[in-house]
Structure 1
Amino acid sequence: MRLVLALSLLLAMPAMAHEHGAHAEKAPAIAPVQTTADGAVYGATLPANLPAVVALDTVIAEPQALLGKDGAFSGRITEVCQQMGCWMVLATEKGDFVRVTMRDHAFGVPKDASGEAVVYGTLNEKVLSAEEIEHLSKEGAKVPAQRELRIDATSVLIHTAT
């Protein structure tokens, strides 16, 4: 029985590493990799064959059709991780939201980022544990929901304020 418990814990540890271990490492790069007429791009440059941008209202209304797929998604930045800029929240006018995590903590966005953004990445659904909710709260998140949509981003375009 002890062996089964020990193996279970050993196998569960990597799953928790993203949520907690990455912050113990060095901070991700926050400098833009590209500047366009539309704004600054963080992470990887946007794909040359960027698919049609899907508005967050559509993502919220029809998530099942988009789950597990790479795409370009647009919304308004309402929150950013205040420790490392490693996640942000895109929201609709109604207050519905999707959390954006920067793939593998490889990059970040400015902690004061705001306004409209286009994110390229994979849409997923995540069930948060009580520990993950507490962790996000410590990073400045407003009370996170237990189940949320997430975009695992490789590129983030933050539009220049007009």
Structure 2
Amino acid sequence: MRAAILFCLLLSAPAFADEGADRHQKKAMATAPVEQTAAGDVYGTPMPDPMPTAVSIDAVAGNVSEYAGKPGAFSGRVTEVCQNSGCWVVLTGENGRYARVNMHDHSFGVPRNTSGPVVVYGTLIEKKLSADEIGHLEKEGAKPAQETELQIDAVSVLIPKSA
């Protein structure tokens, strides 16, 4: 009986070993805009109406406690994008401060060639990353991540039209 249980566990081990290892292949992500507005293409869900004034990442980084844990609009320049599926971007301010923007529940992505100014709507947190999370991000094209970083759980991303 023990041998049969052990045999079953050994056969099922590969299924559990991959659990959560590659979220990108488990869930199909929408990478098309949900709406095209006069301001640009919106990914995820439509932006709130009326849209709150976007706060720059530099301002947020200078006063995290004022913005953390509440939905808001944030602005900056996209300097990195997940090269697997566009499920995260790095939003950088003019002073080099940044926040990693994760697309809510991996439910959508942005084009992998996204760059330049964007506005995101979501909730800001400060997060300590594990060594596994840092390694995962680096596999997706991230520059070496800091152990603690600002993150935004984005429900909407507005990529403005080029001038």
Alignment of 1:84-123 (within 5 A): 84-123=85-124
- Rounded to whole Å, the distance in 1 between the matches of 2:62 and 2:162 is 27
Aligned to 1:4: none
Aligned to 1:7: none
1:143 partner amino acid: P
- Rounded to whole Å, the distance in 2 between the matches of 1:68 and 1:89 is 19
Contact conserved, 1:115 with 1:161, CA < 8 A, in 2? Answer: no
User: 1:110 is paired with a residue of what secondary structure?
Assistant: coil
Q: Runs in 1 of length 4+ with deviation above 3 angstroms? A: none
User: 1:153 is paired with a residue of what secondary structure?
Assistant: strand
Following TM superposition, by how much is the alpha carbon of 1:36 offset from its aligned partner in structure 2, in angstroms?
1.2
Cα RMSD of the aligned pairs, angstroms, is 1.5
User: 2:157 is paired with a residue of what secondary structure?
Assistant: strand
Following TM superposition, by how much is the alpha carbon of 1:92 offset from its aligned partner in structure 2, in angstroms?
1.2
- Rounded to whole Å, the distance in 2 between the matches of 1:53 and 1:128 is 26
Give the share of equivalent positions with the same residue, in percent. 53
Structure 1 residues not aligned, in runs of 5+: 1-12
Q: From the CA coordinates, give the structure whose radius of gyration is larger.
A: 2
User: 1:64 is paired with a residue of what secondary structure?
Assistant: helix
Aligned to 2:6: none
Tell whether 2:36 aligns with 1:35.
yes
1:57-80 Cα shifts (integer Å, max 9, x gaps):
111111111110100000000000
Could you state the TM-score of these two structures normalised by the residue count of structure 1? 0.86
Aligned to 2:80: 79
2:61 partner amino acid: I
Following TM superposition, by how much is the alpha carbon of 1:27 offset from its aligned partner in structure 2, in angstroms?
3.2
Following TM superposition, by how much is the alpha carbon of 1:160 offset from its aligned partner in structure 2, in angstroms?
1.5
Could you state the TM-score of these two structures normalised by the residue count of structure 2? 0.85
Following TM superposition, by how much is the alpha carbon of 1:127 offset from its aligned partner in structure 2, in angstroms?
0.5
- Rounded to whole Å, the distance in 1 between the matches of 2:120 and 2:69 is 15
Following TM superposition, by how much is the alpha carbon of 1:94 offset from its aligned partner in structure 2, in angstroms?
2.1
Structure 2 residues not aligned, in runs of 5+: 1-15
